[in-house]
Amino acid sequence: MTGGPMAAAALAGVPAGVQAQGAWAGRRQLFVRFAGEAETATMYTSGALVREIERQLPRSKYHSISIGGRDPLANVPFLLAALEAATPPIPVMLDTDGQRPGAFAPLAPHIALAQITIEFIGLDATIGHAIETLEAAALARCRHALVLCPRDDTSEGQVLRTIERAHGVSAATEIIIHPPLGGGEQPALDRRWATLLDQATTAHADTRLALRIPPPAGLR
């Protein structure tokens, strides 16, 4: 078993919920969430995670398992140990910001959907790493989606250039654009999004505009 049975990681929990965004938005999932800096964390061994997954799956109907939260690709030995032992009977989705492109390949045989999310925060290098992770998923013949979450200050040009880069590494990419949320967690929609989608589909046909499901109903 790669990583050993005692591989461990800090998780924010293994809750059931509804996927907030991306290719499987609106699907009921079991979430394996790695803890962020401000979240309460519980240390799980890979064996403990396997037992938790096996305990929860028979209790309800789930479309898939979502592995996400903070930097899941920093914990590949832990995930390999758990997924090799659990062999889940439902698809597994990896939701990542794509900042560790070299870490994806070992996980690929266990992943049904690699979902790379770009939030347009920070340097352009972060987008470059995300595109590299998208390419790694494509090369591994794993279904792959790019989720774009532009902010109020993100230009249409930034979004379109990112779509062109994604198309350059894989024409099979599913691209989902989520407009920013306005005040009161309501989507800030105006006509420019329809114009942007028109331009985006010219660059990459499989591009769609969709609304996120805000918390507490939506999780990721």
Q: List the alpha helices (DSSP H) in the chain.
A: 46-56, 76-86, 124-139, 156-169, 191-203
The domain limits of the chain are 8-219
**Which pLDDT score is estimated for 6?**
60
Q: Domain 8-219's class?
A: alpha beta
**Which pLDDT score is estimated for 68?**
97
**Which pLDDT score is estimated for 123?**
74
205 beta partners: none
**Which pLDDT score is estimated for 1?**
37
Q: How far apart are CA 207 and CA 173, in angstroms?
A: 9
**Which pLDDT score is estimated for 122?**
75
Q: What's phi and psi for 3, nearest 5 deg? A: 90, -20
Q: Exposed/middle/buried for 185, CB within 10 Å: 0-12, 13-18, 19+?
A: exposed
On whether the CB atoms of residues 52 and 31 are closer than 8 A, the answer is no
**Which pLDDT score is estimated for 2?**
42
On whether the CB atoms of residues 202 and 163 are closer than 8 A, the answer is no
On whether the CB atoms of residues 113 and 94 are closer than 8 A, the answer is yes
Q: Per-residue pLDDT tens, the chain, 220 aa: give them.
A: 344 456 899 999 999 999 999 999 999 999 999 998 878 899 999 999 999 999 999 999 999 999 999 999 999 999 999 999 999 999 999 999 999 999 999 999 999 999 999 999 877 889 999 999 999 999 999 999 999 999 989 999 999 999 999 999 999 999 999 998 765 555 557 788 999 999 999 999 999 999 999 988 999 8
**Which pLDDT score is estimated for 36?**
84
- According to DSSP, the β-strands at 207-209 and 174-177 are parallel
Number of CB atoms found within 10 A of residue 218's CB: 17
**Which pLDDT score is estimated for 107?**
97
**Which pLDDT score is estimated for 191?**
85
Q: Of the candidates 146, 160, 145, 144, which has an alpha carbon nearest to the alpha carbon of residue 118?
A: 146
Q: Tell which phi-psi region holds residue 219, choosing left (phi > 0), alpha (psi between -120 and 50) or beta.
A: beta
